[in-house]
Amino acid sequence: MNDSRSSDSRATPGSTQASSGSGTPSGAVPAFRSATVHRGTLRASARSFLHALGQDDEEIARPHVGVFHTGGEMSPCNMNLREQAQHAKTGIYAGGGMPHECPVVSVSDGLTMAHSGMRFSLISRELIADSVEASVRGHQWDGIFAVGACDKNLPGLMMAMVRCNVPSVFVHGGSALPGQMPGSASGRDLNVVDTYETIGKVLAGTSTLQELDTVTRACLPSAGACAGQFTANTMGMVSEALGLAPIGSSMVPAVFSERAPLMRRAGRQLMDMVWAGARGEAVLPRDIVTRKALENACAVVCATGGSTNAALHLPAIAHEAGIRFHLDDVAEIFARTPLIADLKPGGRYLARDVYYIGGAAVILRALLEQGLLHGDALTFTGRTLAQEVADAAEPDGEVVRKAGHPISPDGGLTVLKGNLCPDGALLKTAGLHTLVHRGPARVFESEEQAQDAVQAMAYAPGDVLVIRNEGPRGSPGMREMLGITALLYGQGMGDKVALLTDGRFSGATRGLCIGYAGPEAADNGPIAALQDGDIIAIDARAGARSITVELAPETLATRLEAARAARAQQRPLGGLLEKYALTVRPAHQGAVTHSGAVTWLRDKK
């Protein structure tokens, strides 16, 4: 059966497929997509390739499943994912499937931070989704098992699952364990953000190179994603909230032995859906990713003070399902969701601590009991979210509170709008001591310019540091600014200045740091008109949620016309950056690069 955009995985009930060995019938068995590759006389050469993979006739006749992972030595986040994928393959085989390992590219945010390589981080999300689609549709895989554990590979894999719309399951590969300062068995936990902030302390003269070296070596003692509620762990929780992942999977640390049976079990659960698909009864990703599921995911992000990057990735996942779900939709959910999890970077605890109190299911159940989630949303098992979390533990009161007694009633993230950001901008409010700021702009044309100024501490308390030309199209690639934001905190200035950019922030960023400003400078957004000394007013309180520049409309318009003329001559980029800049859409739409599932373009309820 050839794939179609309207029903990529629906087999015809009651249909049969021929024996893979000779092209002659061997009894009625369900028809799978993969039979297109190997069935019949004309496909004998394809069977040669499958035999060369070590498969016998019975295995060739099985449903074939792509096991996609981003394992490799590009970062500790990815280091043990191939090992985890092997356990998934065992579960798939035990469930009657034939697994095919399919590694895909991953770009590490940790190793691309604060240099030009960061331009390729967000782009890698699209590369991952595109490469999974090419493999699934090219090889006609009957299902997808996806394993990722770094910032962009989680959403990239989930986007691909929804795009291909075959029976699928996603599992976050888990977080790293925190480190501790040597010499103390009960010292404070360390994670990689401590290294960034210690750099700032060294530059400010409040720490030493020796201490920096100690923190550098101690902060990341194991494989796994960064330990706090940064982008990877945020999107891991999102995978459960969306219904694409097993409940209880995302917070299991990467190096815990519990991961082996978890992966095998998920492989068998996926095969249940693959066999159901042969009967036309499978719950497919586009059945799961509905508007209700997307709202559930937004609520979990806000309730945990999660990464602002989720507001970029959720619209992109929605886009693959043909659902218009932009930053305004995200803002609506953020505005009504309380903050109930006390997680870093704004709080005190880490992913490991969430695991010990019962995992993401604790948070999901707490939100559900307060009417903040749609319990009837489907999960990949065919059961509802309410059914899946019914036995979850109660909040412990420290790591996670009950939704009726939140840390903050306003949630951990907010979307700001005004004449400076008509399409919106994002701020993580979790852990902020002040939500109001007014000060003069200090404008930088690139991350490098800002980095040099911050390293030299060439700025003043009260400034609003503005970094432009770093949006999806202007950068291109929408670079992440953790290097700068962490330096500001390390210098003791995190609460004394604000930062605004059309680029991105890491999930580990904290402070009055406002990103994703839209429209971006390359699209002649108001940020392109700013000059040093312009007064910017920020009010993130619930009644306002505003960001404005104190300029007359006619002044703003005149400056923007001049900025447009100055950008008329664009230098050629070449290669991947050029293709990306020509196709990428604005940040408030998810920075996607294609027209989406246009056959279904609608608002699902």
**Known binding-site residue numbers for Mg(2+):** 109, 151-152, 480
Measure Cα distances from 520 to 64, 309, 474, 596 in Å: 44, 16, 7, 22
Distance in angstroms (rounded) separating the CA atoms of residues 320 and 601: 10
Sheet holding 143-148, edge to edge: 98-103, 64-69, 143-148, 168-172
Extract the annotated binding site for [2Fe-2S] cluster: 77
Give the contacts of 185 (CB within 8 A, at least 6 positions apart).
none
**Torsion angles phi and psi, residue 169, rounded to 5:** -145, 145
Judge whether 501 and 547 are in contact, CB under 8 Å.
no
H/E run at residue 531: none
Listed residue (95, 44, 43, 47) closest to 67, CA to CA: 95
Whether residue 345 is preceded by a cis peptide bond, meaning omega within 30 degrees of 0, is yes
CA 350 to centroid of chain Cα atoms? 18
* 386 dihedral zone (left: phi>0; alpha: psi -120 to 50; beta): alpha
Tokens encoding 601: 């373009």
User: 3-state DSSP call for residue 8?
Assistant: coil
Of the CA atoms within 13 Å of residue 276, those in its CB half-sphere come to: 16
Tokens encoding 543: 């009644």
Distance in angstroms (rounded) separating the CA atoms of residues 135 and 66: 8
At which residue do the structure tokens 């406002």 appear? 514
Listed residue (509, 461, 515, 463) closest to 487, CA to CA: 509
Judge whether 538 and 547 are in contact, CB under 8 Å.
yes
Catalytic residue list contains 506 = yes
At which residue do the structure tokens 């902060």 appear? 219
Q: How many residues does the chain have?
A: 605
User: 3-state DSSP call for residue 456?
Assistant: coil
Tokens encoding 362: 């604790």
| Burial track 57-69 (b if 16+ CB lie within 10 A, e otherwise) | eebbbbbbbbbbb
CA 65 to centroid of chain Cα atoms? 24
Distance in angstroms (rounded) separating the CA atoms of residues 229 and 310: 11
Of the candidates 45, 135, 506, 595, the residue annotated as catalytic is: 506
Residues recognised as catalytic: 506
